Amino acid sequence: MTISQTQAAAPRALEAGPIFLIVLMCLVWGLNQVAIKFALPDVPPILQVVIRSGGGLLIVLAWAFWRGIPLTRRDGTLVAGLVSGVLFAAEFIMIFRGMLYTSASRASLFLYTAPFFVALGARWLLPGERLSAPQWLGLMLCFLGIGAAVGLPQPNVDPTVLLGDAMLIAGGALWGATTLVMKSTRLRLVAPEKTLIYQLAISVPIMAATSVMAGEEVTHAPGAVAAAWMVFQVAVVGFTFPIWFTFIQRYAATRVSAFTFLVPLFGVAAGCLLLNEPFTPAFAVAVGLVVTGLVLVNRRG
């Protein structure tokens, strides 16, 4: 298929197999915020993501070598790859630092507002992925949900928690921006492994420098719990990235991103069950609004 044919191709509909894998990824990502929290007592936040992304880079490089994927061919993606890598680094710095201040359940809710930023950006950058009236209603419900989570009085929410919330929302916006860069540039025409290698290879040194500047250090050997959850982040979460980027390239960005409406549910449940985090009525309203909004955004026009 030529480049012009690829550019002209309409986004494919999601089949049963990809849907199952997306749901499985949502479960893994829902546990990810809990994994960060469990590892925090022994491993500082940005250092966690350096370890995770560094391990993920080795995994993806080995995968690309095994599959014979060309990584050094000139294809006009260098600038977009650099931009994508910087956005990727900023996204994860916001997420992991934000986890110091807010709960895993709240982080899951705010981070996975990313589909709404994708939907808003698609209006201008992805002409083939315009939203219908129900989908716009979904966007409104999402922002009402964010407002409820942030603005309604809750005994477990103070200015420090709100700072963490804001950082996770920023992480969601940066995730959405990364998705839009991938879909609106020549990155959509190359193997997803190459896109991911751009992001990991560029972000790791940026995040490592940030960790040093923040004065992060490991003062003792990580215990079994922290080590196990770090392995989960590297070996399990790391393997979801190639799958995610493959789907983003093959299917409509708004459809794939919006399907992550399950992640806040998994994340909130994991935070409450594994970390004993509170589930207040105000937060329940917020979760309901955001998840309903995600379902509407995922509807066909």
Give the start-to-end residue ranges of the domains of the chain: 17-297
Q: Residue 248: pLDDT band by 50, 70, 90 thresholds? A: low
Q: Is the pLDDT of residue 234 over 60?
A: yes
End-to-end CA distance of the chain: give it in Å, rounded.
28
pLDDT at 2: 32
Residue 299 has pLDDT above 80, yes or no: no
Q: Look at residue 9 and tell me whether its pLDDT is greater than 50.
A: no
In the block, tokens 């928690």 appear at 161
- Predicted confidence (pLDDT) at residue 62 exceeds the cutoff of 80: yes
pLDDT > 90: percent of the chain: 35
Q: Which tokens belong to 191?
A: 């193997």
Give me the pLDDT at residue 7, please: 41
- Separation in Å, CA 139 to CA 143, 145, 146, 154, 299: 6, 10, 11, 24, 12
Q: Which 8-state DSSP code applies to residue 40?
A: T
At 87, is the pLDDT very low, low, confident or very high (cuts 50, 70, 90)? very high
Give whichever of 107-121, 222-236, 250-264 has the largest mean pLDDT.
Answer: 222-236
**Residues 92, 49 contacting (CB under 8 angstroms):** yes
Nearby residues of 275 by Cβ (< 8 Å), 6 or more positions away: 34, 37, 103, 104, 105
Least confident of 32-36, 39-43, 152-156, 213-217: 152-156
More confident of the two residues 184 and 295: 184
For residues 79 and 186, the answer to whether their CB atoms sit within 8 Å is: no
pLDDT (tens digit per residue) in 277-286: 888 888 888 8
Nearest to 18 by CA among 293, 258, 247: 247
Please write the tens of the pLDDT for every residue from 163-195: 999 999 999 999 889 988 988 889 988 888 898
- Dihedral over alpha carbons 137, 103, 269, 141 (to 10 degrees): -10
Please, which residues bridge with residue 251 across strands? 12
Exposure of 259 in the CB half-sphere (CA atoms within 13 A):
23
Q: What is the mean pLDDT of the chain?
A: 84
Q: How much is the pLDDT for 88? A: 95
Predicted pLDDT of residue 6: 39
Q: pLDDT > 70: what percent of the chain?
A: 87
Q: Which of 131, 103, 148 is nearest to 278 (CA)?
A: 103
- Range from 30-34, 138-142, 183-187 carrying the lowest mean pLDDT: 138-142
Q: Can you give the pTM of this predicted structure?
A: 0.81
